[in-house]
Structure formats: C-alpha cells, structure tokens
Amino acid sequence: MKTKELDGFRAELNKMIADKADLNVIKAKLQTIAGIQADATYEDIAGVRAIEKELTVTQMSKWRSIQENFRKNLQDAQAAASKAKENAVQ
C-alpha cells in the first residue's frame, strides 16, 4: 500500500518540479514523502523485532537471507527502470 502511495506522491512531485511549482508546496510534498518513508521503515523494524522473538536462530538466518535477496532484487529492478528511463529520454 505504501509503495503505491509513494509512487503517486513522487509522480505529483515530479510534475510540480516540471511545472515550477512554488517551493513551499514542493517542500511540503517532500516532507509528506519523507514521513511515509519513515513510517514504512519503522514498521519494517518493528516487524523484524516481532519476528525475531518467534523464530529460532536457524529460521532467523534464513529470514535474513530472504530479506537480503528481496532488497537486492528490488534495487536491481529500480536501477534497471532508472536506466531504461534515462535511455528513453536520450
């Protein structure tokens, strides 16, 4: 849910920047985005702590491996999308 919400706010921000919107409006949008990102990070940390209480050491190791793979794949996908966007602009 937060990812779609963030995507929408980022699209709005990009439009504001392109339209040369008032800097105060841009700053407010940036603060909204930062707040959502902070909330999502906090929820992730709280979730991991809750999970740590329930899993064995072996299960926790596997869980961390799954998380690392997911984050790497997400970063790779974002990098590919960014490169594709750059190539489309050129």
The CA radius of gyration of the chain, in Å to the nearest whole number, is 18
Angstrom CA distances, 7 to 3, 59, 60, 90, stand at 6, 33, 31, 23
Q: For residue range 40-50, what is the model confidence (pLDDT) as tens digits?
A: 899 989 998 89
Structure confidence at residue 67 (pLDDT): 87
Phi-psi region of 20 (alpha: psi -120 to 50; beta: other; left: phi over 0): left
Read off the pTM: 0.63
